[in-house]
Amino acid sequence: LIDNQLYAKFEKCEFHQTVTSFLGYVISAEGVAMDERKVNTVLRWPQPSTIKELQRFLGLLTSIDALSEASVQLLPHSLQCSGGGGGGGAGGETVPHRSPAASEAFQNLKELFASAPILRHPDPELEFTVEVDASNTGIGAILSQRHGNPPKLYPCAFYSQKLTSAEQNYDVANRELLAMKVAFEEWRHWLEGAKLPFIVLMDHRNLEYLKAVKRLNPRQARWSLFFTCFDFKVT
C-alpha cells in the first residue's frame, strides 16, 4: 500500500473475513446483497408528504442497483411529481399527488427493496445474458449468468435510466435498440471481447429492422457500427 501511496487506518480494517458490510451492502463469495439494516430503514419509511421527503426516499432507492429492474416501470407514472399537484407543503414545497396508484407504487417499491436478489459476481468464464426492455418513459437492462445444475439465471447487475423528451419520441423498435446500446456501454468491460458470445433477450425483429432499413439516419448508423464491436446473438 505504501509503495502505491495508499493509506488505511488499522482500526477501520478487517482481515481474513468471508463476509463484510460496506456502504449498505453485504459482500460475500456468493455475491452482493443489501444490508438488513438498510432494508429495515426503508420498510419503516412513511409515505412522503412533501417533495423534499419524496426526493430523499427516491435518492435512497436509486442508490441501490438491485432496484433498477423495476424503478423504470414504477416511478415515472406513479411517484414522480410536478408543481401544482395538490397544495403547498412545508417551506413552499408541493405535496406529492397521493393517489391510490402512488400509494400502491410506494408499497411495491418497499417490498421490492426487501426482496431484492443477491447480485452474483460476474464470471468471465461463463456466458453472459443481457435482457433489455423499454417503456414510454424509460429503459432498463439486466446482466445475468447461469449457475447451478440445472442452470438458472442469476442477476449480476441492473441498469435503468429515464428517457429524455427527444428519446420518448422514438418508436418502440428504436427505444429497445437504445436500451440495448446503453446496456452494452454500461457493461462494455465485461461484454466486449467476452470469452463466449453473449445472449441478448429482446424482440429480435428490432435488430432486423436496423439491418433491413435501406437508409439509416446518423444515429442508427452509429448504433449499427457500435454493435459490430460485440459478439452476441439475439433470442
* Mean pLDDT, the chain cut into blocks of 10 residues (235 residues total): 88 88 84 82 82 77 54 47 43 58 77 77 95 90 92 89 92 91 96 95 76 80 93 91
The CATH class of the 128-234 domain is alpha beta
Tell me how far CA of residue 190 lies from CA of 101, 106, 127, 142, in angstroms: 38, 34, 10, 13
Residues with Cβ within 8 Å of 43's Cβ and at least 6 positions away in sequence, in order, are 110, 113, 114
For residue 36, give the DSSP letter: H
- Grid cell at residue 124: 468471465
Give the pLDDT confidence score for residue 109 in this predicted structure.
Answer: 76
Intervals of CATH 3.10.20.370 along the chain: 128-234
Model confidence pLDDT, tens digit, residues 114-170: 777 778 999 999 999 999 989 888 898 999 999 988 988 999 998 888 899 999 999
Tell me how far CA of residue 58 lies from CA of 16, 67, 105, 128, in angstroms: 36, 11, 12, 30
Sign of CA dihedral 37, 40, 41, 42: positive
Give the pLDDT confidence score for residue 199 in this predicted structure.
Answer: 95
